[in-house]
Amino acid sequence: MTDTAATPPAAAAANPLLQPWQAPHGLPPFGSLRPEHFEPALREAMRQHRAELQAIASQAQPPGFDDTIAAFDRSGALLDRVAAVFYNLTSSATSPALQAVQRTMAAPMAAHSNAVYMDAALFARVDAVHARRHALGLTPEAVRLTERVHLDFVRSGARLAGPEQARYAQVMETLAGLTTRFAQNVLHDETQWCLPLPDEAALAGLPGFVRAAARQAAADRGLPGHVITLSRSLVVPFLAFSDRRDLRETAWRAWVGRGENPGEHDNREVARDILRLRNEQARLHGHASFADHALTDTMAGTRAAVQGLLHEVWPRALVAVERERQALLAVMPAAGQALEPWDWRYYAERVRRERFAIDDAEVKPYFRLENMVQAAFDCAGRLFGLEFTPRDDLPVYHPDVKAYEVRRAGGDVIGVFLQDNFARPGKRSGAWMSALRWQSRNAGPAGAASLPVILNNNNFARGGGGAGAEPTLLSMDDARTLFHEFGHGLHGLLSDVTYRRLSGTQVLRDFVELPSQIFEHWIADPGVLQRHARHWQTGEPIPPELVARLQRAQRFNQGYETVRYTASALVDMAVHALPDAEPPADLCRFEADLLREAGLPPAVGLNHRLVHFQHLFSSSAYAAGYYVYLWAEVLDADGFDAFTEAGSAFDPAVAQRLLRHIYASGNSVAPASAYAAFRGRAATVQPLLKKRGLVTADET
């Protein structure tokens, strides 16, 4: 490995990232951090990591597990902590200065990863331990770590020949810059666009909670009146309630057009460049397409397995969405108006009110954000014995962030949870979980324990400000999102493994969504709603008859939602399965042609178009992997049935199995084995089809 000069002591002393962090639980000194601190800190952390790995690789004694695999797992602690803070800020609270550092450091960080995993001497030791792993008397977890670390090296090009390895390194460094650019382009379009609503005519049809959020969005941007932004928690209710069809169309076109605006932030060629390099990456590994390469390290394993699931669901969803389309047409004006994509949610809301007497304006007052947070905490306590204690004294990176100590009931702290719930300028869209530190018992030479520091980010539209103003009220979908991300958070907080590489959510991509998606079930539990869904003005619990109406309506519009999701998964798999070295010349046309041939109704659309599909193009995490939500939904629907069969959503025996085999085990056990240990068998697809209302008459 190439080494560089150490940071001078004076410079290191002036950089808070390179000093010991003295805050409780070793939290970062957020208040002292500046954009200019990150580049020198990252470069110094990379230098120290290379020195640590050089010491491992140059040992004279034959390679063993402790001095090679476990030592590798411990290495890079400084780099991990600095990079975790950096990437959290660039996602949650970025600025032009931070974005400039992100662009500058994308290639050097990728080059560092290449240097680590392509180091011949280091890989020789890892390879030797891997070859003897079953003869070394290792624990099952140590064997699993050895296999995962070895696979990380192989998938990062360790076995490639000289010229091929050099080219592979170039590809990965270039990809790092392109994915950074893609994400920043989407953020630019989301941040810069807003739709002013200057008068009562523009606000027609909007209930109070949407008006309050639009007023707050304007205030956040220093604008008068009301505005609609491209935050999902604001644009979706606008599309559902606005009587102004022309404004709905304007908002919809801006939302689906992110990343497709001509100029320096146009993602069309950026995405093509990424696809071109991914194809080359796959070919260097001996695979015909990137999808084939990506799926080798998943539960699915092959494109055939993924397509089998998607093609099981797709025709059923098309039948369901056609029933829904007919219902919408029945409530539309009799003549002169075709059903368009900006109409679907608006007329679906009318049908929902007529069929189920459900109106978000009636429901949302019972879903105050603070109450839903407490509902999630209460469910975690009843299931897993956790307590969440607010700690307003802990350092956080933005005033929106709330910090909590997490304890076993009456016991010691097991982690720290940071929750950042609001949409704002400088924060990317969507919802996600991340970690400032992973749980492990291998944090130092003596096997020191490392407590997890876990973050949840959401993008809820903040309620209007001012005295007596409406608080932040969630839709049922928003509440599910909160529970979903909290499920990921619990996966990180409840991790109970020895090695950092196996901790928390660092599992196979089509297993990682199981802990998050299964936790969504508890927000729909009638007992949970009775306890926590209370009217923000009166304090009265949600009426049982309203809960019953919500339950009757839970399959409503599921054809629409399933088609939109599956369409995105089909496009993802199709574009990454192309064997051609050159991607389609026009990705937007490729996407449109594919979906037309598949039978996608034009008025439905899809969740994410390629030009703003951050799951695919802001990193490789979900590339050829957007199917994983559906794959995991097979597991979560089947898995929650274990509680139904036990007679209680809080059955202690089932909850303990869920904790032990799913939430606590991390990647220390193969996913299929972990699920079978929890459920007693493999999952079946029928509970998913029933949950989404996709079963046929003879299957019910």
Helix (H, G, I), strand (E, B) or coil at 200: coil
Q: What is the 3-state secondary structure (H, E, C) of 500-522?
A: HHHCCCCCCHHHHHHHHHHHHHH
Task: Tell me the C-alpha distance between 12 and 506, whole Å.
Answer: 31
Contact 686, 313 (CB under 8 A): no
Dihedral angle, C-alpha 235, 197, 184, 455, nearest 10 °: -50
To the query of whether residue 520 is one of the catalytic residues in this protein, the response is no
Task: Tell me the C-alpha distance between 72 and 57, whole Å.
Answer: 10
Rg (CA), the chain: 25
Task: Tell me the C-alpha distance between 418 and 390, whole Å.
Answer: 10
Contact 358, 549 (CB under 8 A): yes
Element at 345 (helix H, strand E): helix 344-356
Task: Tell me the C-alpha distance between 70 and 411, whole Å.
Answer: 29
Task: Tell me the C-alpha distance between 436 and 91, whole Å.
Answer: 13
Question: Cα–Cα–Cα angle for 672, 673, 674, nearest 5°?
Answer: 90
- In degrees rounded to 5, what are phi and psi of residue 78? -65, -45
Contact 230, 258 (CB under 8 A): yes
Element at 197 (helix H, strand E): strand 195-197
Q: Which amino acid is at 21?
A: W
Q: Which residues contact 644 (CB under 8 A, 6 or more apart)?
A: none
Dihedral angle, C-alpha 84, 88, 89, 94, nearest 10 °: 140
User: Which tokens hold the place of 182?
Assistant: 């893609």
Contact 649, 521 (CB under 8 A): yes
Task: Tell me the C-alpha distance between 190 and 271, whole Å.
Answer: 18
Task: Tell me the C-alpha distance between 629 and 618, whole Å.
Answer: 18
User: First and final CA of the chain: distance in angstroms?
Assistant: 62
What one-character DSSP code corresponds to residue 583? P
Within 427-555, where are the H helices? 476-493, 509-519, 526-532, 544-552
Task: Give counts: helices (H), strands (E), the chain.
Answer: 28, 7
Handedness of CA 290, 293, 298, 301 (dihedral sign): positive
Helix (H, G, I), strand (E, B) or coil at 86: helix
Handedness of CA 410, 401, 241, 199 (dihedral sign): positive
Task: Tell me the C-alpha distance between 525 and 643, whole Å.
Answer: 12
Closest to 290 in 3D by CA, of 625, 570, 586: 625
Select which of 485, 513, 591, 633 is catalytic. Answer: 485
Task: Tell me the C-alpha distance between 429 and 431, whole Å.
Answer: 7
Task: Tell me the C-alpha distance between 341 and 498, whole Å.
Answer: 50
Helix (H, G, I), strand (E, B) or coil at 154: helix
Q: Which residues are identified as catalytic?
A: 485
